[in-house]
Amino acid sequence: MIEDIVSLHLPVEETFRIRKNVIRHGEGKRLCVVTGIHGDELEGQYVCFLLARILNQQPELLHGSVEIYPAVNPLGIDSIQRGIPGFDLDMNRTFPGSDSGVMTEFVAKKLVADAAGADAVFDIHASNIFLTEVPQIRINELHREMLLPLARQANMDFIWIHGASTVLESTFAYSLNSIGTPCLVVEMGVGMRMTEKYGQQLTNGILHVMKTMGMWDGDVPPVSEPVLCDAEDEVIFLNASCSGMFMKTKEQGSLVKKGETVGYVFHPLRGEVLEYVTAEKSGLLFTIREYPLVEEGSLIGRILVREDMQK
Ligand SMILES: [Zn+2]
């Protein structure tokens, strides 16, 4: 059943609408899948499609309610812009919102109220257009206890726990987590693109979470054990030291040895390699640059340092 969460008249003809698809069968828990807060991050679109299709095909296997919100920043999604067009505003800095505020604050308040009380919420993001990320869940230390057991069930490759000092209180996930509604932030793939493999992987993860919650009777492939990157673990950021074009030679998710090249910066006019970007320590390359053009300081990749690989 398609429901309107928000419906507002825009100045002349159009209507601003945020919709969700509620798929319900029998009694049970409630899970929400939210995506499109950042309009240029499309990986979640494919997950919404796959999940809705599976649930529509076999509704009798569902016990409870799955609510799918593919485009909570609809103007952003339609124009593939990160923020809310016309407001020059990052929607994920507008939460928890306000009943009496401007339209963006009102919308934020409605969204939080709508998802509040769910047994689990997935807030699916992609990376930006510059970097590719392995499928991962990001958790703030503040909500570790509530979220980590759930995150481990979600079939992601990586869980990154951030220190409490980096918490952003104006995000959708923080607003829900702070009122006790568990919300997992997924980051995967790359901006403006969809990655079939990652979409399927997360869809299986969501079904697996549903199964552990007693919401799903269907078969689910075994989930992978994620690598845990704790707040005190060492993460190295690789940056370009010059301007040029970057070609990656390692894929995201590769284990790299100290001194190993992950890519190089070249000068197309002169036919020269300007820099080989190498791993400063051995570990897991969980982020790699996708966007070729680099300037001095551009982020090339991130490595989780693995102590067991240092010898
Ligand atoms: Zn995002």
Q: What is the pLDDT of residues 12-23, one digit of tens each?
A: 888 999 999 999
**Residue 122 vs residues 10, 34, 294, 303: alpha-carbon distances, Å:** 29, 6, 33, 25
**pTM of the predicted model as reported, rounded to 2 decimal places:** 0.96
Specify the pLDDT at position 87.
83
Question: Greater confidence, 69 or 165?
Answer: 69
Q: Where in the chain are all domains bearing CATH 3.40.630.10?
A: 2-229
The mean pLDDT of 290-297, rounded to a whole number, is 98
Angle 242-247-251 from CA coordinates, rounded to 5°: 120
Question: Is residue 24 pLDDT above 90, yes or no?
Answer: yes
Ligand 1 centroid distance, CA of 88 (Å)? 15
What are the tens digits of pLDDT across the range 124-177?
999 999 999 999 999 999 999 999 999 999 999 999 999 988 889 999 999 999
> Cα 208–253–218 angle (5° rounding)?
15
The proportion of the chain whose per-residue pLDDT surpasses 90, expressed as a percent, equals 92
Whether the predicted pLDDT of 311 surpasses 80: no
Task: Give distance in angstroms: CA of 41 to centre of ligand 1.
Answer: 6
CA distance linking residue 234 with residue 7, whole number of Å:
46
How far is the C-alpha of 233 from the C-alpha of 212, rounded, in Å? 29
State the distance from the centre of ligand 1 to the C-alpha of 218, rounded, in angstroms: 30
pLDDT tens column, 32-67? 999 999 999 999 999 999 999 999 999 999 999 999
Would you state the structure tokens that stand for residue 218, as one six-digit string? 């269907």
CA 276 to chain CA mean position, Å: 30
| 39 CA from centroid of ligand 1 (Å) | 8
Q: Which CATH number applies to 235-309: 2.40.50.100, 2.60.40.10, 3.40.109.10, 1.20.1560.10?
A: 2.40.50.100
What's the CA gap between 21 and 11, in Å, rounded?
27
Q: Which residues surround ligand 1, an ion (CB under 5 A)?
A: 38, 41, 125
Tell me the CA–centroid distance for residue 186 and ligand 1, in Å: 9
Q: Select from 207, 202, 201, 199 the least CA-distant residue to 58.
A: 207
Residues 201-225, mean pLDDT to the nearest whole number: 97
Distance between Cα 307 and ligand 1 center (Å): 30
Residues of the chain with CATH 2.40.50.100: 235-309
Cα–ligand 1 centroid distance for 37 (angstroms): 7
| Ligand 1 center–CA 310 separation, angstroms | 33
CA–CA gap between residue 33 and residue 56 (Å, rounded) = 15
pLDDT of residue 225: 94
- Quote the ligand 1 centre to 202 CA distance (angstroms): 16
Number of H helices, E strands in the chain: 6, 17
φ/ψ bin of 259: left (φ > 0), alpha (ψ from -120 to 50), beta (otherwise): left
Average pLDDT score over residue span 257-281: 98
310: amino acid identity, one letter: Q
pLDDT at 86 over 90: no
How far does residue 295's CA lie from ligand 1's centre (Å)? 23
- Collapsed DSSP state (helix, strand, coil) of residue 51: helix
pLDDT at 81: 95
Structure-token pair, residue 145:
């206890």
Which amino acid is it at 183?
Answer: C
Q: In this predicted structure, what is the pLDDT of residue 141?
A: 96
Before 96, cis peptide (omega within 30)? yes
**What is the overall mean pLDDT for the chain?**
96
* Residue 128 Cα to ligand 1 middle (Å): 7
Query: Rounded to an integer, what distance in angstroms lies between the CA atom of residue 247 and that of residue 250?
Result: 9
Contact 23, 62 (CB under 8 A): yes
Report CA(137)–ligand 1 centroid distance (Å).
Answer: 12
Whether 265 shows a pLDDT value over 90: the answer reads yes
Q: How far is the CA of 50 from the centre of ligand 1 (A)?
A: 20
Q: What average pLDDT does range 91-118 have in this prediction? A: 95
The CA-CA-CA angle for residues 154, 167, 5, to 5°, reads: 65
Q: How far is the CA of 44 from the centre of ligand 1 (A)?
A: 10
Superfamily designation of domain 2-229: Zn peptidases (3.40.630.10)
